[in-house]
Structure 1
Amino acid sequence: MADIGGSASGVTSGVTSGVTSGGEPESSDSLKAFGEVVKAFRKRAGLTQEGFAPRVCYSVPTVASIEQGRRFPPGDFVDRAEVVLDAFGAIQGAARHLSRRPGLATWFRQWARLEAEAVSLYTYECRLVPGLLQTEAYARTLFVNQLPPLGDDQVEVQMAARMDRQRLLRERPNTSYSFIIEEHVLRRLMGGQEVTRKLIRHVLELAELRNIEVQVMPIESTGHAGLDGPMQLCETRDNQWLGYLEGQESGQLISHSKVVSMLQMRYARMRSQALSLEDTLSLLRQMRGAL
């Protein structure tokens, strides 16, 4: 479960799609092997994690997670580590063999890699609060209620992956994040009043960050450009725009420029149809106070 599936728009042009029977977490052996390679070259260079982390522009906890095989390395980390550690191409070579990312559905992993390196990331969601904005309690409610049921170990693996993804919001302050969420998603009270109250408080805290914009699409609206379903858009480091549509047990990466342009047009219209940033914060505070 990347972010719980829903209806895709049916667009096929320029689409790469993947389907899996359940999004089961896979072994992290390749991640652990990659981490050992990085650690070996770091020690060869005479660097501690504290000395290495600023040179690759990542935090010490992130470096530790990568070396322990608990986090998929972003592309820019791989490139910087290769240069900083003078690794003879070994780190970049090891990265090319990374095919598994525990806790993320197979069909979501390609987008997760793009998400981790995006210059801009836009998300419209009408089914649930987007994964990057979820609290631990809200995410756990989703995983516990998933069908077919997950085992306790599977729930914990997917929880770890979800919480790990959320580091992007604070570790990439130069990435611009925009979220449009349907009002009814917040009023559903998934997990109960206490879970929802803490969720709204969390979203309000994130919305105070300069690089994050959150807008609510009101229940009463005379126009809506997103009726074809959820969508995500990202701008890569090369300033290329890509789209992503997610359904039940499937994800579609959109690369065709005309289709991406159509999605951008719809997202831009939704930004004008949703509540303003100020009105969104006002509504969220009102909803939190009513719980």
Structure 2
Amino acid sequence: MAKPRQAAWEFFGAELKRRRETSGFTQDELGRRVFVSGGYIGQFEQAIRKPQLDVAERIDEILQTDGFFARMCEKLINNPGYERYFAPVVELEAMAVAICDYEPMLVPGLLQTAEYARAVMLASNPLDSEESIETLVRARLDRAHILQNAPAPAYWMIMHETAIRIPVGGPEVMAAQLARVADFAGKGRLLVQVIPFAAGAVAAMEKPLRLMEFDDAPPTAYTEGLYTGHLLDDPAMVKRANRTYDLLRAVALSPETSLALIESAAEDWRQCANRT
């Protein structure tokens, strides 16, 4: 597998070439329109040169790509708002065809609302400036674009019941957050399961786990600890992580029962918010 940052450059370059040719431009023609040379465009397409935000913004304008290349620079190439150990995961998730997440304490980042994400960031960084917190929140919300793009990756999400009971941000924030999860699940945009308290101790219950699959690269697994993360691509380790995820699926409630529980919890939080 290519190194994650190089893989992001290659993805940027491949998309640039495809969309440029679809629009009927040569490298020289596009270069003139965005005030660089045709060779400069070629270096982007061959992943020789790191994509630059100002050029990407002009490319979006000429190719009418609705900010696609600018977002690529911001969230995959430059990675604002991401810890160094997590930045490669952000790069890879944009290229994944399937993602399986497990979260023991929180709603996974790809589904978080702005208010929920802000509460999480404030709890983790209580002394940071408002500007710093907003940078982190924007970075997290930007990642959600992959679930709205076409084609979106197949997304399977398992949460522990703890994640729907802890009042992150207060009742109103929790009600809106769980409603968002339920809306995505109800529209078939993700498959969600909840591990109930009654399941007792389960494998890897205390640590987040993510599995990612790709069209043209081996699968990966990612797990996280305190101020550190581990991206695994060794086949034996990825196979072991998949078995762990299978165990989590086995003890979780069915998708239908899980959705009903999430919707019920959202209503409980709404009623709680109305009483306050």
Pairwise TM-score range, normalised by the shorter structure: 0.7 to 0.9
User: CA contact under 8 A between 2:182 and 2:262: conserved in structure 1?
Assistant: yes
* The one of 50, 62, 68 aligned to 2:68: 62
**2:135 corresponds to which residue?**
157
User: Judging changes above 3 Å, is the alpha-carbon distance between structure 1 residues 38 and 222 closer, same or farther for their aligned structure 2 residues?
Assistant: closer
Per-residue deviation, 1:236: 2.0
Normalising by structure 1, what TM-score?
Answer: 0.70
Cα contact 1:123–1:180 (8 A) shared by 2:
yes
Cα distance change of structure 1 residues 187 and 32 upon mapping to structure 2, 3 Å threshold: same
Is residue 2:55 matched to residue 1:37?
yes
- Structure 1 residue 228, shift from structure 2 partner: 5.7
Q: Contact 2:218–2:233 (CA<8 Å) still a contact in 1?
A: no
Deviation of 1:253 (Å): 0.8
Q: Which amino acid aligns with 1:48?
A: I
Q: Which runs of 5+ in 2 are unaligned?
A: 4-48, 270-276
- Per-residue CA shift, 1:262-282, capped at 9, x if unaligned? 110111121121111100111
For 2:97, the aligned partner's letter is V
The answer to whether structure 1 residue 249 and structure 2 residue 227 are counterparts is yes
Question: Which of 113, 119, 131 lines up with 2:97 in the alignment?
Answer: 119
Structure whose residues are more often helix by fraction: 2
Structure 1 CA distance for aligned equivalents of residues 169 and 221 of structure 2? 30
- Identical amino acids, percent of aligned pairs: 29
Equivalent residue pairs, number: 222
Q: Measure how far apart 1:169 and its partner are.
A: 0.9
The verdict on how the C-alpha distance between 1:184 and 1:71 changes in structure 2, with shifts beyond 3 A counting, is: closer
Superposition pairs of residues 202-281 of structure 1, within 5 angstroms: 202-221=180-199, 224-227=202-205, 229-281=207-259
Of the three residues 128, 134, 138, the one matched with 2:116 is: 138
Higher relative contact order (CA 8 A, sep 6+): 1
Structure number with larger C-alpha Rg: 2
RMSD: 2.4
Runs of 4+ in structure 1 deviating by more than 6 angstroms, as ranges, are: none
Mark the runs of 5 or more structure 1 residues left unpaired by the alignment: 1-15, 17-30, 54-59, 73-97
Matched, 1:284 2:262: yes
TM-score w.r.t. length of structure 2: 0.73
